[in-house]
Structure formats: structure tokens, C-alpha cells
Amino acid sequence: MNRYQLYGAGLALTLVLSASTAWAQAEKKDIATFAPTSTLGAFGVGPVWEAADGPLPPAAGTEVHYDFDPLHPFAGLKTAKKWANLFKRTAEVDPNDPFHNLTPFEWWSALPPLPMTWRGAWANAVRKGTSFKDFYNTLQGSAGDGFTAEARSPYPFETAEEHYNAWLKAAKGGTKHTVVNLPDWSGDWRDPPQASGFPIVLVRDFWRAVSDAYKPRYELMLQAELEGRHWWPADSCVPESFSASGRFLMVTPTMVLMNSTGQYQHDRYIFTDGRGFLDAEHAIPQWLGESQGFWDGDELVVWTKNIMANTRGHGAPENSDQLQVIERYKKIGNEMLVDVTWYDPLAFSFPLHGTSIQTKASDAVDAWKRTTVTLNECVSSNLVYHNELGLLADFAIGDPRYHDLFDQTPWTTVFKKGEKAKLEGKIPAAPSFLSLSGVSTLPADPSTVK
């Protein structure tokens, strides 16, 4: 049995995590029955707890004994829910939480009666003469309706390379499938709403997970979202961070193709023939990185690196171009269990971990018809247009429509412009929400954040 120390309190790694039995033996003193505060979790993705799940999981921040082999984590697993529940925790509302016990979803798109920040709630408050402090005080969350999950990776690995090689060695080099015995993963697989494979926790716990170097950047992002000054990848027609909800899978003996659709369309090619990564001279950062994988029986293990810096926004932190990701997939019945570990020594204080349970659409054709697919990568980077004379022209430096194609973090550029506009009195002034609690990391002039 391996022992891992849990860190942080009340987090909501809400990739629709449910219940488990691994902690039950050590937590018999917990309440045996429980009526959830609402029928849906903070992300509206299903019951937060059920009577059949047994006693409540331990509180976040307590020591937990994980009863699984880190080298064969899914061994003997009968249901996806059991794995997800290993990381479920209870969370309490903290009256001193500077992030007001909000989930990332509530931060940008809280449901009534909370103000919906992305719809301009702060601008409306200004018109009524409301101070920013009073406005922010109207945003109060429920700590994920009393549930959370552990965001820190449960694995004893320091890097993605160590993680991948340990699993490869445990799988004795991997299983070599043929067309005849390949796992059947055909279909349209969907994450729960607001999940997308990323570890979604309470905002206060993302704050703990973000490195000191990236805390000012995260604060800048959160501040902008409170004020309705969002920068989301979809706004600029780029992929929403590394993962994406919804996958059409094509499995071959040498490759797995993951095609995701939505506000954009992208493909991930996961090579399972042992070809390795491109050498440093030829490798270039990509939105979805470069992926290699192997089969461990009917489970797929994937290592991805050379990922471009990006941000999902929506209350979640950004990743740097140092991000590397380890994924493990297992089809159990009509569900796909996805285990994800994020290694980013620049942006994160420790490796992050999340689980997602994808469900297979009963009618893939109908699901495909209801999916909006756009192919607009050229639009997102194009500076050329036809002017009023019908002549070809381009946006020049200084034109507000100009795209700096070499700006590696355009979201931060946008946030800094907003802060500068506040200082110049061009948009309503608002202090950092964290300065209200005396814990701000921003300099006097936030537009100078690196």
C-alpha cells in the first residue's frame, strides 16, 4: 500500500468525480447517510453524491491511503466511477476564502441569483454606483456544493518522462495489437459539460497549484474575468488549451486518431509504433503537442510534449510551453475512463491530476449533426484583408486589428491592455479582488506583469 500526503483544502476537481470504497475503510467514523445540497453539482453534470456511494469521503487536506498500484492503477477496476471516487473529497465553505468559495464555472458564468460576470455584471454595477468591493461580495460560492477532489497527482513521479517510462516498463514494452484484436473504441465520446479533461477545482485550490512565478498572471486573468474583460481561446479561434471535450476515435495497430470538434476542429495523432518524438532540431510547439503512446493490454497510455503555451480561461490557470501530459485511457462498459497528469514546472507548483468519465453517444450520427464544426485556423492568424476598394491590404502595427503572430501569450497582452486602460481612466477602475484581502501579488501597475 502506498501512502501519499494530500495538500490543500476544499477543492472541486469536478470532472464529475463520484464515490469509492478505498477510503471507506479508514473513514468509518464519517456520516453514513447524506442528502446532497442540490441534485446537481456545481457544474450541473449530475448528482454530487448518492446513497449508494456510502459514507462521505474524507475532508480535503487529510491524509489518505491510496490502495492501488501506481504502476498498474486500473488493475482489477470494475467501474470508472470507482476510480474517480478515489479522489473525491468533502469541502466546507470558508468565510475567509479570498476567492469566495467559487468554482471556476461560477467565476465567469455563475447562474442566477449570482451575477454572470461574462455578461457585463460589473459594468452594470458601475452604472448603479456600486463599488467593486460590494460587487465582488455579491459573488459567493458554496465550495462545490460541499464536494471537491484532490488536485495533486497521486503518482510518485517527478516528470512526465519518468511517469511514461515507468508505465512502459511495467507493461513490458507494451502490447502489440493487430487489426484482429484491437480494442473497439469506435463512437462519439463526450466529456461531461465544463470538464474537457482538465483538472477543474475550486478557484482557491487552483491558486495553490499555480507557481509563484505564474500567480500574478493568474490573478490578472481572474481580475479580468470578474470585470468582464475576458480572453478565451475561442474568441481568437484557437484551441481551448490542450484537451477538448468530445472525441471521435479511430484505432489502428500503429496509431490512434482523436478528432475533436466544437468551436474549432483538431486532430491528435498518437503513434503507438515506437517511433519516438522528433529530435529537438525538428520539433516545434503545437497547440496539441506531439504524442506517443503504447498499449498496456486494453489500456492506452499517452505522453504528449512540445505543447504551446495556452490558457483555457473560464477561471482556470494557463499552462506554459513546458507542459507535458500523461494520459491513461480504459474503456469500461459504455464509458471511457480518462486519467490525466499535467507536468508543468514553470506554471504549476506540483503535478496536477484529473479524471474524466466520458460517455458514448447512443447515436453518433445525431451527435455529429448537432456539433458545430469550424475550420478557421487561418482566420485566427491572418492579417490580410480586402479593403473598401477591393484591393488586397494588411493590418499594420498600430492598427487595433493587428495580430502579433509572434506573441506567445496574447491573453496576457490583452489583460495588460485592460489594466492600462483602467489606469488611464478609459474603463471603470477596479482594484484587484485579492487586494481587498491583502493577498494580491500584482504590482502597483498590473500592466507591467511579465
* pLDDT for position 242: 76
Torsion of CA 140, 142, 148, 152, to 10 degrees: 20
Give just the sign of the alpha carbon dihedral 359, 362, 368, 372. Answer: negative
DSSP, collapsed to helix, strand or coil, labels residue 13 as: coil
Record the pTM.
0.83
Torsion of CA 212, 217, 222, 226, to 10 degrees: 140
Residue 79 in this model has a pLDDT that exceeds 70: yes
* pLDDT for position 191: 72
73 or 30, greater pLDDT: 73
264 or 139, greater pLDDT: 139
Sequential DSSP letters for 26-67: GGTTS-S----SSSS-TTSSS-S--GGG-SPPPBTTS-EEE-
Which helix (H) or strand (E) element contains residue 359? strand 352-360
* pLDDT for position 306: 95
* pLDDT for position 199: 60
Proportion of the chain above pLDDT 90, given as a percent: 50
Cα gap 159→346, rounded to integer Å? 12
pLDDT for 430-443, tens place per residue? Answer: 999 999 999 999 99
320 or 313, greater pLDDT: 320
Query: Residue 357, CB half-sphere, CA atoms under 13 Å: how many?
Result: 19
Name the band, by pLDDT with cuts 50, 70 and 90, for residue 198: low
Mapped to the 3 state alphabet, what secondary structure does the chain carry?
CEEECCCCCCCCCCCCCCCCCCCHHHHCCCCCCCCCCCCCCCCCCCCCCCHHHCCCCCECCCCEEECCCCCCCCCCCCCHHHHHHCCEEECCCCCCCCCCCCCHHHHHHCCCCCCCHHHCHHHHHHHCCCCHHHHHHCCCCCCHHHEEECCECCCCCCCHHHHHHHHHHHCCCCECCCCCCCCCCCCEEECCCCCCCCCCCCHHHHHHHECCCCHHHHHHHHHHHHCCCCCCHHHHCCCCCCCCCCEEEEECCCEEEEEECCCCCEEEEEECCCCCCCCCCCCCCECCCEEEEEEECCEEEEEEECECCEECCCCCCEECCCCEEEEEEEEECCEEEEEEEEECCCCECCCEEEEEEEEECCCHHHHHHCCCCCCCHHHHHCCEEECCCCCEEECCCCCCCCCCCCCCCHHHHHHHHHHHHHHCCCCCCCCCCCHHHCCCCCCCCHHHCC
Proportion of the chain above pLDDT 70, given as a percent: 81
* pLDDT for position 56: 84
pLDDT for 140-184, tens place per residue? Answer: 999 988 888 888 999 999 999 999 999 999 999 999 999 999 999
* pLDDT for position 264: 62
Residue 73 in this model has a pLDDT that exceeds 90: yes
Residue 17 in this model has a pLDDT that exceeds 80: no
* pLDDT for position 388: 84
pLDDT for 223-243, tens place per residue? Answer: 999 999 988 887 777 777 776
pLDDT for 252-300, tens place per residue? Answer: 999 999 887 665 667 889 999 999 999 988 888 888 899 999 999 999 9
Name residues whose C-beta falls within 8 Å of residue 345's C-beta, 6 or more positions apart in sequence. 211, 322
Residue 11 in this model has a pLDDT that exceeds 60: no
* pLDDT for position 2: 33
Pull the grid cell for residue 117: 460576470
pLDDT for 199-221, tens place per residue? Answer: 668 999 899 999 999 999 999 99
Residue 21 in this model has a pLDDT that exceeds 70: no
Domains of the chain: 2-377 (2.40.128.20)
Q: What is the mean pLDDT of residues 344-358?
A: 94
Name the band, by pLDDT with cuts 50, 70 and 90, for residue 247: confident
**β 299-305/310-311 pair status:** unpaired
pLDDT for 83-100, tens place per residue? Answer: 988 998 889 999 999 999
Residue 1 in this model has a pLDDT that exceeds 50: no
34 or 331, greater pLDDT: 331
Name the band, by pLDDT with cuts 50, 70 and 90, for residue 71: very high
Q: What is the mean pLDDT of residues 183-196?
A: 73
User: Average model confidence (pLDDT) for the chain?
Assistant: 82
* pLDDT for position 381: 63
Residue 106 in this model has a pLDDT that exceeds 80: yes
Residue 313 in this model has a pLDDT that exceeds 80: yes
